[in-house]
Amino acid sequence: MTTASHTHDLLVIGAGSGGVAAARRAAAHGARVLIAEADRVGGTCVIRGCVPKKLMMYAAGYAQAFEEARAYGWTDVSGHFDMARWAAAKASEIDRLEAIYRRLLADSGVELALGHARLQGDGRVVIGTREVRAPRVLIATGGAPARDTLPGLAQAMTSDEVLNLRELPASLLVLGGGYIAVEFASILAGLGTAVTLAMRDTLPLRGFDADLRRRLASALSARGITLAGGQAMQAFEHGPDGVALHRADGSVLRAAAALNATGRQPNTAGLSLSEAGVALDSRGAIVVDADSRSTAPGIWAVGDVTQRVNLTPVAIAEGRAFADTEFGGRPMRVDHRQVASAVFTDPPIATVGLSEEAAVRLGPVDIYEADFRPMKTAFAGHEARTYMKLVVDGLDERVLGVHMIGADAPEIVQSLAVALSCGATKRDLDRTVAVHPTAAEEFVLMRTPARRLPHDRTAT
Per the annotation, where are the binding residues for FAD? Answer: 54, 304
Strands 365-372, 451-453: pairing is antiparallel
Report the C-alpha dihedral over residues 62, 66, 71, 72, rounded to 10 degrees. 80
**Which among 116, 246, 403, 436 is annotated as catalytic?**
436
Kindly state the DSSP code that residue 296 receives in the 8-state scheme: S
The candidate with the shortest Cα–Cα distance to 83, out of 221, 233, 193, is 193
CB atoms within 10 A of CB 128: 15
80 is catalytic: no
**Burial class of residue 298 (count of CB atoms within 10 Å of its CB; 0-12, 13-18, 19+):** middle
Distance in angstroms (rounded) separating the CA atoms of residues 47 and 292: 25
Distance in angstroms (rounded) separating the CA atoms of residues 11 and 33: 6
One-character DSSP codes across 389-410 = EEEEETTT-BEEEEEEESTTHH
Give 401's strand partners.
Answer: 353, 391
Binding annotation: 54, 176-183, 263, 304
Binding annotation for NAD(+): 176-183, 263
Classified as helix, coil or strand, 204 is: coil
Determine the distance from the C-alpha atom of residue 345 to the mean position of all C-alpha atoms in its chain, rounded to a whole number: 12
Residue count (the chain): 460
Amino acid at 37: E
Distance in angstroms (rounded) separating the CA atoms of residues 50 and 56: 10
Distance in angstroms (rounded) separating the CA atoms of residues 221 and 228: 11
Kindly state the DSSP code that residue 286 receives in the 8-state scheme: B
Kindly state the DSSP code that residue 274 receives in the 8-state scheme: T
Report the C-alpha dihedral over residues 200, 266, 348, 92, rounded to 10 degrees. -130
357 and 210 Cβ atoms separated by less than 8 Å? yes
Strands 226-228, 299-301: pairing is unpaired
Classified as helix, coil or strand, 364 is: coil
Q: Angle 35-147-247 (CA atoms, 0-180°, nearest 5)?
A: 155
Longest pairwise C-alpha distance within the chain: 71
Q: What residues are annotated to the active site? A: 436
